[in-house]
Amino acid sequence: MDIRQLRDKILSFSLEDVDLGSQGYTRVLLQLFGYTGHGKSSFINSCMYVLEEGENFKEHAEAGETDHGLTMVRNAYPITDMITMVDNRGCSKMNDFERAEVYAQLGNFVSIGEKVEWKDNYKAMMEALEDSELEPNFSDFIVPIFVYRVRKQTSAEEMQYVKTFMENCVKMTGIVPIVVLTFKTEADYLEIEKIFRILGAETVIAIENYTKMSNKKTPERTTDILKVIDSALRNVKFRLEQPRNQKRERIERKKCINNYIHQIQVQQEIKKHEIERLEREKHERERRKKSVFKVWGRSACGIF
C-alpha cells in the first residue's frame, strides 16, 4: 500500500465499517502516554502534517525540547472527523499516585481540556474519580499509545513500570499499547524495540517526528507515522468484531483504577506501620543505651 492509499484509508475510516457497526461509539480516541520530553506533542503535529497535502507544517500541539515537557492540560486534537489524538500529561518521577493519575486519564476519567493535577493522597484521588461521574463519557473507543525516546537510558524500575502499564492497558481497554519509538536516529532503536517486545509489546514502530526545523516530507518518515495510525485503527476494527457494552466497559475501567488506588493505600499503610515500628525500636534501643550508661556511671562512682 503506497502513501496515498494509506492516507486515504485513514481519512475515510468509519466506525460503521464493520459487520456489527459502531455499537454506540462515535469516535476513536488515540491516547498518548509517556515520560515528559519524549515527543508526544511532536508526534501529534507529525500525524496531522502527514494527513495533509503539501508541506505547510503547523505546530498544533506545543512541543518541548527538554525532558521537562510542556503538556499540563489533557488536550485533544482531531486528526479526522472520526479520530482524535489526546496529549495526556507526561510523567517524570512516576510515584504511585502519578501512576494512578495516568490510569485516570487512560480511562477517560479526566475531562478533555482539564488541567491534570498530580494527587498525593488516597482521598483526593477517590474524590476526583467520583466527580468524573457528573459527565460520564461512554462513546469514545480508546486506543493506548506509549511514546518513548530511544536515547533515553532505561532503568530496570522504568521498564517494570512500562510492563505493568501495558498489562493494565489491556485490562482497561482490551488493547496492547502501540509503542512509538521517537528520535529513531539518536540510538540503536532495534535494541530498544527488542526490550519492549520482551515486555509484551505487539506493535513497535520507530519514527522521526516532523518539526519546525525539519519538515521536508520524505516517503519513509511519512509512511512510519501513517503506520502508527493505521495500526490503531486495525485494533479498533478487530475489537468491534465482537459485541461491546460501553457502560459496562467504563465500569470495569473504574474498578481497575479503584483497585489500583486501594493497593497504593494499603502499601502506604504498610510502609507507615513499618516506619513506626522502626522508630519504636530505635527509641527503645536509645532508652536501653541510656539506662546502661546510667547504671555504669553510678557503678563507677560507687553509688547504688
* Domains of the chain, start order: 3-248 (3.40.50.300)
Residues 97, 120 contacting (CB under 8 angstroms):
yes
Please name the residues in contact with 97: beta carbons below 8 A apart, sequence gap of 6 or more. 118, 119, 120, 121, 125, 264
User: Of 31-45, 174-188, 255-269, which range is least confident?
Assistant: 255-269
User: Hey, what's the torsion of the CAs at 200, 203, 206, 211, to 10 degrees?
Assistant: -110
User: What cell numbers appear for 35 in the block?
Assistant: 515520560
Confidence of residue 3 (pLDDT cuts 50, 70, 90): very high
Tell me the pTM: 0.82
Overall residue count recorded for the chain in this entry:
304
The predicted-structure confidence for 5-55, as pLDDT tens digits, reads as follows 999 999 999 999 888 999 999 999 999 998 888 899 999 999 999 999 888
Q: What are phi and psi of 145, to 5 degrees?
A: -130, 125
In 3-state terms, what secondary structure has residue 186?
coil
Residue with cell 498525593: 120
Please name the residues in contact with 264: beta carbons below 8 A apart, sequence gap of 6 or more. 96, 97, 100, 122
| Interatomic CA distance for residues 138 and 51, integer angstroms | 27
**Which pLDDT belongs to residue 99?**
78
Confidence of residue 68 (pLDDT cuts 50, 70, 90): very low
Name the residue among 50, 51, 153, 166 with its Cα closest to residue 102.
166
